[in-house]
A and B are shown apart, each in its own frame.
Chain A
Amino acid sequence: MKNISTTTIVEGLKERIVNAAIAPSVGVILPSNNYNDFIQAIGEYIKSRPADAYLYVTITNPFERVIKNIGGLLTNSNIKFIDCVSRAAGIETVDNRCIFIESPTHLEKILLDIMNNIKQWNKSVEKYVIIDSLSSFILYNDSILVAEFYTYLCSHLGISNTHIISLCIEEEMDEILNKIIYLKSDRILKVRESFI
């Protein structure tokens, strides 16, 4: 059972996501201490909007872990996953709701899979791509490459009327990533430990 303070934090974060997610691109900068709370809040947000379509790109944690963290997320039939870390970590999970990328260095392949998935969605639904987390890419790639990846992604998602919510863990970020997330996001949600 959740304690009251955790529930309050998650509810507070969810409210801020609801307010921010109307923007085409939202950058979320949060300390690692609040990471799990934010993931919970994102999960709640997705569950509350079953008519929308979601593509959840996971780099920080493997797909299985994300599913465990956000129980019941898969009740939304409009959610698909791209897992960028399981294969690189030697985890051989197979799940038809998830595309497993060989390595987080395969940025072009990730872009292609995002684009191919979005094209399959009904044009009339609200579409979201969630990157969890953009900053984790720089553990595997040069940050300038990640910045280029993100620029390309935002340009293409903008054309296809798809919202993008990009998480960045503060401790993982460097100057280049910080600059690009501010530059490319229509709205920045900066989470502080004293946020609530």
Chain B
Amino acid sequence: MGMIKDSKSTYIEGSSSDEFCKTWIYELDQRLGGGIPAGNTVLLVGSSGTGKTTLSMQFLMNGARNGEAGVFFTITEPLFKLTKNMEKFQFYDKKLIEKGMVNIIDLRIISDRLGLDAEKYSVEDANALLDVLKDIADELQVKRLVIDSITALCYRLQSKELIRDFIFKLGSSLAAMKCTSILTSEVPPDKLKYSQYGIEEFIADGIIYMGDIDRRGDLIRTLQIIKMRGTMHSRSKTAVSLSTAHGIELIPLLKSSR
């Protein structure tokens, strides 16, 4: 599999190769050098409102449209709020959910059913949760998985050792299944850090940073691929457009931007 040669207008359907898991967001796949290497665990980092959840959902919907099932674990937003927010985007297709190609699961409900402490997970709790996540991914035969957000999950895991262990084991299991995962990570605005706990970025195979730049009081959304193991990717900062018609689109950021 080499570089994408399709033009944007024809970049709609096809199949991901064994090597790459395409986001089917044309400009992003171009910058990734073809897509996310299949089985990679990617940390999608950004402060509030930068487009992490939208990009993650678009990644799943686009994948489903091209024959790859996916699962979205939400922990920060109740299910009804998440779906209500997503319904306004054209890429969001309810039928794909009804067909089971995209599954949206509230992780807090799973925690409740497992009888886990809502605020703090022990080692056993973390392992039980990990097993459930792996089982769900396996049972649904998903090729794409999103956890929104890993920060909220890490908050419950509490110790750095647990966080490291959890992400490492999750990433390894999913990689074995050739399942590509996106873990969203919340960071404060204007801070050059990729995770709240300083560990997540070392375990992840890739880091995509979504931020804002201030242009005379207006915020311009940006995206930058910081690392992506297994691919020659762009490291340029791009501007992000978020619209109901097209979802996430990228365009080079004008360099004179401060």
Contacts and interface: CB of A to CB of B under 8 A. Distances in A.
B220 A106 contact: yes
Nearest to B216: A105
A148 B251 contact: no
B235 interface: no
Given A102-B218, A108-B220, A152 B252 contact: yes
Interface stretch (A8-16, A47-55, A136-144): A136-144
A143 to B, nearest CB: 9
A109 interface: yes
Contacts of B220: 105-106, 108
B257 interface: yes
On chain A, which size bracket covers the interface? 20 to 34
Contact of A140 (B216, B239, B252, B256): B216
B249 interface: yes
A119 interface: yes
- The SS class assigned to the B binding surface is mixed
Contacts of A119: 8-9
Interface string A91-130: 0000000000011011111011001100100000000000
A146 to B, nearest CB: 9
A111 B251 contact: yes
B256 A112 contact: no
Interface in B114-149: none
Contact of A108 (B8, B254, B258): B254
A112 B254 contact: no
Given A102-B218, A140-B216, A145 B257 contact: yes
A176 to B, nearest CB: 10
Interface in B216-258: 216, 218, 220, 239, 241, 246, 249, 251-258
B3 to A, nearest CB: 19
Contacts of A140: 216
A35 interface: no
Given A112-B241, A119-B9, A105 B252 contact: no
B215 interface: yes
A107 B251 CA distance: 10
Contact of B254 (A102, A115, A152): A152
Given A119-B9, A144-B256, A112 B218 contact: no
Nearest to B249: A112
A147 B256 CA distance: 9
26 contacts: A102-B218, A103-B218, A105-B215, A105-B216, A105-B218, A105-B220, A106-B218, A106-B220, A107-B254, A108-B220, A108-B241, A108-B251, A108-B252, A109-B239, A112-B249, A112-B251, A115-B251, A119-B9, A140-B216, A141-B216, A144-B256, A145-B256, A145-B257, A147-B256, A148-B256, A149-B254
Given A112-B249, A142-B256, A142-B258, 4 more contacts: A108-B251, A119-B8, A145-B257, A152-B252
